[in-house]
Amino acid sequence: MEARRNKPITFAEVRSWDDETRWELLDGHAYAMSSPSVMHQDVVLALALRLSPQFQGGQCRLYVAPLDVKLSEHDMVQPDLMVVCQPEQVKGGYIDGAPRLIVEVLSPSTQRHDRIRKLDLYGKFGVNECWLVTPHPFMLEVYTNQEGVFARVGAASENGTFRSQAFPELKLDLAELFANLPLPPADDVHEPTPAYRA
């Protein structure tokens, strides 16, 4: 569901709303987020468990949704996973400014929102690298920021080993990750109700 009005909605306004609904704010328009599917959560958790040890003890930290990321007074998102390397960006209840890395796990009903609206926004505000993960059939696409516009620099299926350009030391065994994911329930493969409704 999208909340529209003549005057752009601000970050402070959305933060003052009730906690029963999760919201994202893009160019002053608020979008209600529905609950993620079980398959979506399985993939997010699997990625978090494999990425977390690789950032322990360093300056960069891995965070998992729900956590607000303020990009401007009229832009706020909740990426599925993010890596933040500047301690001053971490506020009491949100991240202030663009993370270095963002990971979005896609759903059939949110692909347009994630691939167009949010990817454009991440490029504009200086996210270095973005991964788009399709759970079924499994695919990981890597985009890097080239002067404010994301360009796809690689893609991988459930086989092989993946390395990040933003974090060259980061190594992800996709075959191992995929092997430990449960098979998707039939109703998770095709979601009937869009998570973002205009």
Q: Which of 55, 61, 66 is nearest to 84 (CA)?
A: 61
What is the CB neighbour count within 10 angstroms for residue 59?
9
Cα–Cα distance, 193 to 65 (Å, whole number): 21
Report CA-CA distances (Å) from 75 to 19, 85, 110: 18, 20, 18
Structure tokens at 146: 């080239």
Beta carbons within 10 angstroms of residue 99's beta carbon: 29
CATH classification of the domain holding 86: 3.90.1570.10
Strand partners for 62:
83
In a domain, 18, yes or no: no
| Residue whose C-alpha is closest to residue 136's, from 87, 100, 195, 183 | 183
Answer yes or no: is 45 within a domain.
yes
For residue 55, what pLDDT is reported? 92
Domain total for the chain?
Answer: 1
Residue 174 is part of which domain span?
Answer: 35-66+77-186
Per-residue pLDDT of the chain (198 residues; tens, 9 = 90+): 555 557 899 999 998 987 778 899 999 999 988 888 888 999 999 999 999 999 998 899 999 999 999 999 999 999 999 999 999 999 989 999 999 999 999 987 788 888 999 999 999 999 999 999 998 888 899 999 999 999 999 888 888 778 888 999 888 888 888 887 876 655 544 444 445 544
